[in-house]
A and B are shown apart, each in its own frame.
Chain A
Amino acid sequence: MSTADRLPRLLALVPYLMSHPGAQVPEVAKVFGLSEKQLIDDLQLVWMCGLPGHTPGDLIDVSWDGGEILIDNADTIARPLRLGVDEASALLVALRMLAEMPEFGQRDALARVIAKVERACGEGAAAVSNQVAVEVDATPDALPVVNEALRRGRRLSLRYYVPGRDEVTPREVDPMRLVMVDGRSYLSGWCYRAEAVRLFRLDRMLTVEMLGVPADPPAGAVPDEVTPGVFRPSPTDELVELELTPAGRWVAEYYPCERVEELGEGRLRVALRARDQGWLVRLALRLGGTGRVLSPASLAETVRETALAALRRYESVS
C-alpha cells in the first residue's frame, strides 16, 4: 500500500480498533495488509493526533502492550468513512452478478445485502452500479451435478469434449473447486486420465454423473490458478505466425498472442502458441482468405493440403 493511502487506512484502522478492543497486532496487521512494523508505525502516528488543544487529555490513547491493542479517546473518528462511489459500486456490481446465478443459491442473502449496501452509500453509487453489468452465461446443464459432487465430496464421471482435438473422452475427476471466470463456469479438479489437476469447462461436459466413490485427490494437488487466464499454451509449444486481414483481426481479440504487429490498413501480423496442431489447422481453414500462415512452413503446407483435399470432395460431387 502506498503512503498516499495512509490517511484512508488510518481512518479505517481507528474504528476497527474501537470495534475490536484487545485485537492482536498480527491479526490486525493481516486485516490491513501491513507488516507488524508498519502497523506499529501507524499506531505511533495515531497516538500523536487528537482534538485541538493537543493536551494529553485531547490526544488519542493507544497501547499495544504484549501485542494487545487498546485504543481510547478517539470518539470523533470512531466510525469509518462512508463508502465512496467506486468502493460501493465495485461491491454492488459483483453482488448483482452473483444474484444472477440461480445455482449460487444465495439469492435471499444477496437481495438483503444489496439493499443494505445501497442504503450505506449515497444514491450516486447505486446509480453507477446499475450502469455496469457483468452478464452470466446461461446455466450449464452440468452445474447441478457438479455442485452436488463438490458439496458431498464425491467423484465425477464425465464425457468431455476437447475442441482442440475434436475429441470426446471419458474421464473420472475429483472435483476441487468451481471457478467462474468472466461469467463462464469451470471445474477445477484432479483428472485421473491426465493424472494432474485440470480445468474443465462445464458447457463442454456432454454427460456428467456423480459416482458413489468419495473424491480423493492426491494430498499435494492444488486447484488450478485461473488468474492468468484460462487459455494457457505452454512456452514450449511451437510459435506460429499469422497474417490477418481486417476481417481476421478477431483472432488477436480471442486468443492470447505473444506479438501483435500492425501492418497498416488494418492488417495484422500475430504470433501465438498452441498445444495442438489440429487446432491451428482448423483455425487457418476457418480464416479462409482473411488470414494465412506465415510460419512454420510445414504448418502452411499442411493447411494447404487439407484445404485441397476438402475442396476435391466438393468438386467431385458437383
Chain B
Amino acid sequence: MSRRKTERLLNLVICLLATRRPLSAEHIRQAVPGYDSANDEAFQRMFERDKNELREIGIPIEVHKDPWEEDPGYRIVRQAYELPEITLEPDEAAVVGLAARVWQRASLAEAAGGALLKLRAGGVETDEAGGVLDGALELRVDTRDPAFPALWEAVRDRRAVRFPYRAAASESVLTRTVEPWGVVSRRGRWYVVGHDRDRAAARVFRLSRISGPVTPVGRPGTVVVPEGADIRSMVGSRDDLAVQERVALVRVREGTCQGLRQGARAVRPGSGGWDELEIDFTDPVWLAGWIVGFAADAEVIDPPDARDAVICRLKGTLA
C-alpha cells in the first residue's frame, strides 16, 4: 500500500467516524484529500476498493439507504468500531501475554499479536515476560499442517470444503467434501471434525493425511454445527488408551526391556535369567507392534493370538 493511499484511508476512517449523519459518496469525495483529483469514474472505483479494504481489516462501515435520498450514505458507528473498555488485573495480563505467544505459525501468531497490540493500545498493560510466571514456562502450539489455515477459515466462515484425503493405511486418495464443525489438536496432531457429505455421516480427518489443497465449496455461512455436537469427544477421549481389556504374559530377559517393564502391570522375577511381565492390552496387533521391537529379549507366552501376531510380524520382516 502506498503512503498516499494509507493517508487517504486513515483520513477516510476519521471522516466516517467523526460524522453523526451518514455522508454521501460525493460529500466524502470533497472531504477526504486524495479523492479530489480523480474523475468521476476513477473516484467510484477508488471509493469501492477503499471501502472493501477497510471492511477487510474489520472496520464496520454502515450503509444507509433513505427512501427520499437518491444516493446511499456512509458512516462508521463508534460503538461498533471501538474496542470496549477493558482492564486487566496483573495476573490476567500475565496469562494474556503468555497466551498470545503460544502460536508458532504465521496466520495465528500474527492474529494473536494483533490482538495483543490492540489491547495494549487500549491501555491494557499486558505482560510480555509473563510476569508472575517468571519466564519459567513456555507454551508452543504448532499448526504445521499445510491444510490448517484453509480449515481454520472454513470453520470461521462456516463454509464447506473439499480436499484429497488418504485414509489410514489406504492405497488410494479420495476427494472428500466436508462441512467442518471444528478442528482439534490431540497429542500434537490436528484433526478436522465434520459432516462428510459423501458418506452422509459425521467423520474425523487427520490433517496430516490431507494430501492436497483445501478448497471452499459453496457459500460462507451455510454450515450448521449440530446442537450438542462435542467435537472433542468425536476425536476420541484422551483416556481411551487407558482402557485395556486383556492381559498378556510376556517373558523378558533380565536387565533388558526397560520400556516393557515400565508399562507392565506386574513384574515377577523368573528363572534362568528371565523375568515375567503382565501387560495390559486390547488389540493383539498393537501389542505385537510394541513387543516385537524388543526382538529376542521378549517373548509373548500367552494368549496365543498375541503370540501369533508377533510371529506374523517377524515373518513379515523376513519376507
Contact = CB atoms under 8 A, between A and B. Distances in A.
Question: Are both chains from one complex?
Answer: yes
Interface of A: 3-4, 6-16, 19, 31-32, 45-46, 48-54, 76-77, 79-91, 94-95, 97-98, 104, 106, 108-110, 112-113, 116-117, 119-120, 128, 130-135, 137-138, 150-151, 161, 163, 166-168, 176-184, 206, 223, 226-227, 229, 246-247, 249-250, 253, 265-266, 281-290, 292, 303-304, 306-314, 317
B188 interface: yes
B156 A86 contact: yes
A112 B94 CA distance: 12
| Chain B contact residues, majority secondary structure | helix
B182 A81 contact: no
Contact of A76 (B18, B139, B166, B232): B18
Given A87-B111, A285-B295, A52 B182 contact: no
Interface stretch (B39-47, B66-74, B276-284, B286-294): B286-294
Q: Tell me which of A49, A167, A310 has the highest count of chain B C-beta atoms within 10 A of its own C-beta.
A: A310
B259 A161 contact: yes
Nearest to A309: B296
A145 to B, nearest CB: 14
B1 A6 contact: yes
Nearest to A95: B99
B314 A288 contact: yes
Q: Tell me which of B11, B86, B96 has the highest count of chain A C-beta atoms within 10 A of its own C-beta.
A: B96
Contacts of B53: 7
A258 B170 CA distance: 23
B138 A226 contact: yes
B123 A182 contact: no
B162 interface: no
B111 A286 contact: no
Nearest to A83: B115
A94 B313 contact: no
Interface of B: 1-3, 6-7, 9-11, 13-15, 17-18, 31-33, 53, 57-59, 80-84, 86, 88-89, 91-92, 94-96, 98-100, 102-104, 107-109, 111-112, 114-123, 133-142, 152, 155-156, 166, 168-172, 181-189, 206, 208-209, 225, 231-232, 235, 238-239, 256-259, 262, 289-290, 292-296, 299, 307, 310-319
8 shortest interchain CB distances as A-B pairs: A289-B316, A288-B316, A282-B293, A52-B31, A131-B182, A182-B188, A87-B115, A288-B313
B31 A310 contact: no
Contacts of A16: 117, 120-121
B160 to A, nearest CB: 15
Q: Tell me which of B117, B231, B294 has the highest count of chain A C-beta atoms within 10 A of its own C-beta.
A: B117
Contacts of A133: 182-185, 231-232
A306 to B, nearest CB: 5
A98 B6 contact: no
Contacts of A76: 14, 17-18
Given A87-B111, A304-B317, A265 B171 contact: yes
B84 A119 contact: yes
A137 B187 contact: yes
A12 B135 contact: no
Contacts of B109: 90
Given A77-B13, A287-B317, 6 more contacts: A15-B121, A82-B118, A87-B112, A177-B137, A183-B185, A286-B292
B88 A131 contact: no
B112 A94 contact: yes
A90 B105 CA distance: 11
A184 B118 CA distance: 30
B141 A94 contact: yes
A285 B1 contact: no
A79 B82 contact: yes
Contact of B136 (A94, A150, A226, A227): A150
A15 B95 CA distance: 23
6 contacts: A8-B114, A49-B7, A177-B135, A249-B169, A285-B292, A314-B310
